[in-house]
Homo-oligomer: A and B are copies of this chain.
């Protein structure tokens, strides 16, 4: 069985670059699961920049919702999921209830544990600022925290990234 690596950090903390370095060092076929949806020009540019950072070895799947199913298709080697936070945004945008979202995260955790591939998962810490004014942002923050806990709990290794420097937490 493969191992699961959970990488958490703030925006622009270097977490994606660290995840890519980690995954590039692993053997076998390389599957990149991008959860981003290009709904505006700013996002399009971010997606393009991320793609430019990857070598040609990587096969990219754009999958905004069904991440667990995509992992099942990944086979052996390594699969990199970037990122959980946008996936959660997409699930909320698709009008899923909290319980349905937690259930999706449990499916992802289970798919990681059962996969022959090493899975590297990237997520954001979004709960270390002031409590947001609007209820939707609070719901997003709560769900992010719960989903991060669930995925980190079942991961073999957990890294916290700040200023591009990874710190092994588990």
Chain A residues at the B interface, C-beta cutoff of 8 Å? 6, 8-14, 123-132, 137, 140-142, 144-146, 148-149, 151-153, 158, 160, 162-165, 167, 169-170
Taken together, the copies of this chain in the complex come to 3
Q: How far is the CA of A77 from the CA of B124 in the complex (A)?
A: 37
How far, in angstroms, from A138 to B113 measured CA to CA in the complex?
A: 35
Assembled-state Cα–Cα distance A165/B123 (Å)? 14
A10 contacts B127, CB within 8 Å?
yes
| Interface residue from B10, B124, B140 paired with A125 (Cβ < 8 Å) | B10
Least CB distance, A108 to chain B, in whole angstroms: 14
Q: Which residues of chain B are within 8 angstroms of A151 by Cβ–Cβ distance? A: 163
Pair B130/A12 contact, Cβ less than 8 Å? no
| Contact between chains at B140 and A130 (CB < 8 Å) | yes
Q: A12: shortest Cβ distance to chain B, in Å?
A: 2
Interface centre among A10, A128, A142, A167 (most CB of B within 10 A): A128
**For the complex, what is the distance from the CA of A97 to the CA of B162, rounded to whole Å?**
24
